[in-house]
Structure 1
């Protein structure tokens, strides 16, 4: 079976602990190289993860003719820069979310893709590929809860480490960019639409200047999604989707464990059923989907225009919070 040979730009924790192990279980993925600006760190990671090649610079990995694609888990402010550099070397790109710091940055990727249409670029919103989300979307589209009119979601963790990139404003840190983007994404995904306008509110950390708590409302015209995300609250995540005839609750919507079943609750006609999904690794599913897009020349499941629309909505939420007004999308 032909495989896509993937190089990893950086030894970031999410790559080492979640994405790389997941991709290594994918039948059509081969993690062939990893790099870091610290060559010793790259070698340690390569040994730990049984990766054949280690490089002491991103440029050296991109110059390797045996690498077909790259996975980019760099800090947010470096995503577009290295996506464009990888594309210039004709490497396909799987990039951590958010793709860019604003929709203008994402537009640079769109322009580069127009000039090089054979290169696949995909934002790593892995949650959409998990069976619990596939089933939730199917149930909603088939009318299991009637017309969906309200989504409520919460996503939080506690991290007050001043050295962590999530707490560095100049690197694109903060709650909305790190985890709130999931809540924007799921709202657009389940409603299958772009919001008409948004309203945002944020509380900035006085030391980090990042949004440690962000709440938003997305108005889809008679349908509303309300969310809160935070980098300095007790760890918690939940999604509720309510319709005229029922409700779906996703218990672990984002960090679904790779080694344990997951559950959603389906409420219909006053009764609630639990739907259980076998353990699976959503990062393996993401790797398989990315490899399929590349090897079979299919559209990536997360399109670049979906990425642009999501970032455009995030930008509007920030502007709304800064001006204390509804912001049109």
Structure 2
């Protein structure tokens, strides 16, 4: 399929376009921007054959079959509809619209054109989310009870598009949407009721902190917190009656690194999926329940592998049941592993992953199953 891109936005030029160009199922023929000089430079850097100085010119190109639309939020609906009217399929960045009126307009335009429109959410396609859904459907964590998500960062720049109310700024549309799509994807259901609480920035007028609860019926719930003026963190916990899944980097997984699931239980294990493929490997964490209630002994058979980078490496050991010599060996083992990990820290941070770290300790664990998270 022949593609065209409207806009030279960073999300497109730095993330999506390079990823699309790795596929043998499509070809990006053209890119359009408001500044023809800049657009030509981008096209040359990304090896895109054609550059247009307006979006209309690209839409008029008869060889283009589909459009990728990474324009600012308030322009998503307008230009997606124009692309549909020009006979093109559309992959539109999230959020695909700002309200239900936008959604209804898009549905009407899609049905009229006979073309397809897809909102660009990685959640529905990334291997770690696909694996999480498979685990849930297999019954490994029992009956699903709740999904908890958190996604925050700090950005108080008045010139940033995320802090401009009139063009669709705010945390809910920027990152809160992930916390809503994620539970919908893994449960395979739609909420029947939603309750939320919102705090707005007094200067920008945009939402800077939002919490919400989604009722999927039959006791199944999801809750989330998203914010644009809080310390950066992202995490998803999926709870069942017999176990849980923890996705450590759910929304911004670093390419070419592994991302872990923690499935606690008497035979806890961490499944890792590679960001660039569906391959996975398992690290076994054997657990023995201690005679003392609430405490246990856990040993990690394999801590790190050669040239393996994880978003965060954490080693948990319940200190009250560990003799000092064992604890000492644990620290030496972790230190030796850190030597390999440290070589990767600079590389990960240069890729924009400042959260990469290695920590170890020997301390009280409230989980009687002795969870070890890698």
Q: Structure 1: which 5+ residue stretches go unaligned?
A: 283-329
Task: Note if contact 1:259-1:279 (Cα within 8 Å) is conserved in structure 2.
Answer: yes
The whole-number CA distance in structure 2 between the counterparts of 1:218 and 1:186 is 12
Aligned to 2:61: 64
- Superposed structure 1 runs of 4+ greater than 4 Å apart: none
Choose between structure 1 and 2: higher helix proportion.
1
Answering whether residue 117 of structure 2 is matched by residue 121 of structure 1, we say yes
Aligned to 1:289: none
Aligned to 2:207: 211
Aligned to 1:324: none
Q: CA RMSD in A?
A: 1.4
1:91 pairs, out of 64, 88, 93, with 88
The whole-number CA distance in structure 2 between the counterparts of 1:231 and 1:29 is 35
Normalization by structure 1: what TM-score?
0.81
CA distances 1:21-43 after superposition (whole Å, capped 9, x unpaired): 10010111211111111112211
CA distances 1:252-310 after superposition (whole Å, capped 9, x unpaired): 1111112212221122x34431101123189xxxxxxxxxxxxxxxxxxxxxxxxxxxx
1:75 pairs, out of 72, 81, 94, with 72
Q: Cα distance, 1:99 vs. partner? A: 0.7
Aligned to 1:42: 39
Count the aligned residue pairs.
Answer: 277
The whole-number CA distance in structure 2 between the counterparts of 1:135 and 1:278 is 11
Aligned to 1:183: 179
1:13 pairs, out of 5, 10, 14, with 10
- After TM superposition, list the pairs within 5 Å mapping 1:154-169 onto structure 2: 154-169=150-165
Q: Cα distance, 1:83 vs. partner? A: 0.6
Task: Note if contact 1:259-1:281 (Cα within 8 Å) is conserved in structure 2.
Answer: no
The whole-number CA distance in structure 2 between the counterparts of 1:58 and 1:95 is 14
Task: Note if contact 2:133-2:187 (Cα within 8 Å) is conserved in structure 1.
Answer: no
- Greater RCO structure (CA 8 Å; 6+ sep): 1
The whole-number CA distance in structure 1 between the counterparts of 2:202 and 2:69 is 30
Q: Cα distance, 1:143 vs. partner? A: 1.0
Task: Note if contact 2:123-2:182 (Cα within 8 Å) is conserved in structure 1.
Answer: no
Aligned to 1:316: none
